[in-house]
C-alpha cells in the first residue's frame, strides 16, 4: 500500500512539473526571434517584419494580446516601413477593424477590440489608393507568418505599398 502511495505521489509530482514547463515549440519560436534591435525598446516600433503573435498571441511573453499585427513596407525600399496606411480587416461575418501603420510600418489590433471569425479579408488603404489582399487570412493574425523575405514559393515576400504610382513596375504619375 505504501509503495502505491509513493508511486502515486511521484507520478503527481512529475505531472505537475511537466505542466509547469512552457510549450517547447512556442519557446523555440520566441527564441528564434532573437534579441531586440539595439536602441529599440519594446513597444509599437519594435521588431518590424517579425510575426507579432508569437509574443502577443496569448502564450506570451508579451502581456498585451493582439488579434492581428504586422508591418507594411514601402515598395521602393523593402526595409523602409510605410507609415500612414490604413489596414482594414473584415471577417466572414462582415465585422471590421482598422489600424494605421506607424513610422516603422507596424500596426496591430488588440484582441480585446477585435475577435474575428475566420476567414478574414484584408485591404490596405492610402487615400484613394486601395490594395486588397488576393487571398484571405485563414487562422493566424501575424502577417509575417506568411509574408517574409525573400519572396519565393513559400511566401509572396513582405507586405508593401507604393508611396507613389511611379514606384510601381510600369507605373507613372
Using CA atoms, how far apart are residues 88 and 125, in angstroms rounded to an integer? 8
Residues of the chain above pLDDT 90, percent: 38
pLDDT over 80 (residue 28) = yes
pLDDT over 80 (residue 2) = no
**Cα–Cα separations (whole angstroms), residue 168 to 163, 171, 172:** 9, 5, 8
The pTM is what?
Answer: 0.79
**Cα–Cα separations (whole angstroms), residue 147 to 20, 29, 49, 137, 155:** 33, 16, 8, 12, 6
The pLDDT of residue 23: 84
The pLDDT of residue 29: 81
pLDDT (average), residues 21-27: 79
The pLDDT of residue 41: 84
The pLDDT of residue 21: 56
In this prediction, residue 4 has a pLDDT band, given cuts at 50, 70 and 90, of: low
Average pLDDT, the chain: 83
In this prediction, residue 5 has a pLDDT band, given cuts at 50, 70 and 90, of: low
Regarding beta strands 66-74 and 159-161, do their DSSP bridges make them parallel or antiparallel, or are they unpaired?
parallel
Using CA atoms, how far apart are residues 136 and 144, in angstroms rounded to an integer? 14
For residue 71 the three cell numbers come to 508591418
For residue 66 the three cell numbers come to 493582439
Phi, psi (degrees; rounded to nearest 5) at 53 = -75, -5
Pick the CATH number of 48-173 from 2.60.40.10, 3.30.70.20, 2.160.10.10, 3.30.70.600: 2.60.40.10
**Cα–Cα separations (whole angstroms), residue 16 to 6, 19, 24, 60:** 15, 5, 16, 20
Q: Where are the domains of the chain?
A: 48-173
- The predicted-structure confidence for 88-101, as pLDDT tens digits, reads as follows 999 999 999 999 99
Amino acid at each position: 500500500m505504501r509503495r502505491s502511495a509513493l508511486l502515486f505521489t511521484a507520478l503527481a509530482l512529475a505531472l505537475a512539473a511537466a505542466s509547469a514547463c512552457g510549450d517547447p515549440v512556442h519557446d523555440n519560436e520566441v527564441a528564434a526571434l532573437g534579441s531586440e534591435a539595439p536602441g529599440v525598446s519594446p513597444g509599437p516600433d519594435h521588431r518590424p517584419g517579425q510575426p507579432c503573435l508569437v509574443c502577443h498571441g496569448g502564450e506570451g511573453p508579451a502581456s498585451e494580446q493582439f488579434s492581428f499585427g504586422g508591418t507594411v513596407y514601402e515598395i521602393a525600399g523593402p526595409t523602409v516601413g510605410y507609415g500612414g496606411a490604413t489596414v482594414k480587416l473584415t471577417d466572414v461575418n462582415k465585422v471590421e477593424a482598422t489600424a494605421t501603420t506607424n513610422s516603422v510600418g507596424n500596426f496591430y489590433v488588440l484582441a480585446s477590440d477585435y475577435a474575428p471569425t475566420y476567414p478574414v479579408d484584408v485591404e490596405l488603404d492610402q487615400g484613394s489608393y486601395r490594395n486588397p489582399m488576393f487571398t484571405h487570412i485563414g487562422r493566424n493574425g501575424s502577417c509575417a507568418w506568411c509574408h517574409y523575405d525573400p519572396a519565393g514559393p513559400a511566401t509572396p515576400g513582405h507586405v508593401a505599398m507604393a508611396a507613389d504610382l511611379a514606384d510601381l513596375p510600369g507605373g507613372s504619375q
